[in-house]
């Protein structure tokens, strides 16, 4: 099962974990042997203090991109459930941006699929981030070379 949400409201990691734990046949699914979760949050690494980060997207296109990434992960690893949540709107430092959760019979598949999804999401999903600083300056966030390198390593089938 794959579930994708692009939303303004925050998410509860505990609730999302329980959904992954109960994936497939319902409460306390005995097929689930491992759950890997990644959550990302707004950080303030700039010399100029961050007031908020604005995340924008193209409705429909973004969800389709996330769905395709999840389907690629499900084709590569034997997963039971995948849950991706990405927030949009104005987020302040410390607020959650993204949740990626994967349940599987085995931890290695859950870890690999979760990492793959996050690496591809960082480089391919159509989101735009603009930092608004306390002093009034603003700037678009450029993709980082390290993110591209992490995504490229999956092209070899690792």
Q: Quick one: fold of 2-156? A: Aldehyde Oxidoreductase; domain 3 (3.90.1170)
In the prediction, which pLDDT does 132 show? 93
Element (H, E) at 56: strand 50-57
Domain ranges of the chain: 2-156
- Closest listed residue to residue 86, CA positions, set 4, 150, 158, 148: 4
Q: What gap in Å lies between CA 115 and CA 5, rounded to an integer?
A: 18
In the prediction, which pLDDT does 155 show? 84
**What is the full per-residue pLDDT of the chain (158 aa) written as tens digits?**
899 999 999 999 999 999 998 876 554 567 888 999 999 999 887 678 999 999 999 999 999 999 999 999 999 999 999 999 999 999 999 999 999 999 999 999 999 999 999 999 998 889 999 999 999 999 888 878 888 888 888 886 55
In the prediction, which pLDDT does 156 show? 67
């Amino acid at each position: 099962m794959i579930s994708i949400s692009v939303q303004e409201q925050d998410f509860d990691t505990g609730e999302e974990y329980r959904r992954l734990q109960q994936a497939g046949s319902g409460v306390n699914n005995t097929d689930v042997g491992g759950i890997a979760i990644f959550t990302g949050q707004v950080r303030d690494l700039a010399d100029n203090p961050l007031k908020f980060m604005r995340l924008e997207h193209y409705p429909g296109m973004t969800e389709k991109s996330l769905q395709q990434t999840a389907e690629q992960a499900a084709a590569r690893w034997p997963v039971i459930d995948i849950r991706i949540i990405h927030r949009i709107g104005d987020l302040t430092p410390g607020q959650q941006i993204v949740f990626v959760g994967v349940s599987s019979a085995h931890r290695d598949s859950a870890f690999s699929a979760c990492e793959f999804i996050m690496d591809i999401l960082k480089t391919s999903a159509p989101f735009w981030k603009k930092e608004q600083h306390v002093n009034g300056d603003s700037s678009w966030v450029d993709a980082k070379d390290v993110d591209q390198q992490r995504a490229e390593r999956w092209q070899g089938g690792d």
